[in-house]
Amino acid sequence: METFLQYWGGAGYFLAKVLLVRSEFIEKNRNLRLIGWFVYLLGLPAWVIILVSRQNWIAASIETAGIPAILLGIVMTWKQNNNPNKIIDWSIRIFTCLMILIGISYSIYTFNGIKTFSQILEIIIITGYILDGHK
């Protein structure tokens, strides 16, 4: 089952990246961008299932937290609007922060602290995500 999930998630991620890069740098094609985001969204559950099955709660939470942002990106691309509604934008930021806190808290609860190498790697992922978001 895990192999199937890896193929599903990997194919979705790879195809989404190809479509998104092609839409940005080659054609500026709105339809390719929309398809790329939808494909990414379709492949996302496979990664979340894999991460949860391995008790990688922090990584699973950050992947789940990205869903509203992806949906907002789809809506903005569809409407050809580059300025998100400030309330929606802040709601997504708050949701993302809550998901990160839930993931870290549940990981600490599950393992009785930060005790595994995987948890350290996941915290590095979160740190990179947070630092990248404040550009």
Q: Buried b / exposed e across 2-34, counting CB within 10 Å, b at 16+? A: eeebeebbeebbebbeebbeebeeeeeeeebbb
pLDDT in tens, 55-90: 999 999 999 998 998 898 888 888 887 787 889 889
pLDDT bucket at 29, cuts 50 / 70 / 90: confident
Q: Which of 79, 29, 73, 56 is nearest to 126 (CA)?
A: 56
- Give helix 117-133 / helix 57-79 axis angle, nearest 10°: 30
Give the per-residue pLDDT at 134: 52
Structural tokens at position 77: 């691309």
**pLDDT category of residue 133 using cuts at 50, 70 and 90:** low
CB of 51 closer than 8 Å to CB of 67: no
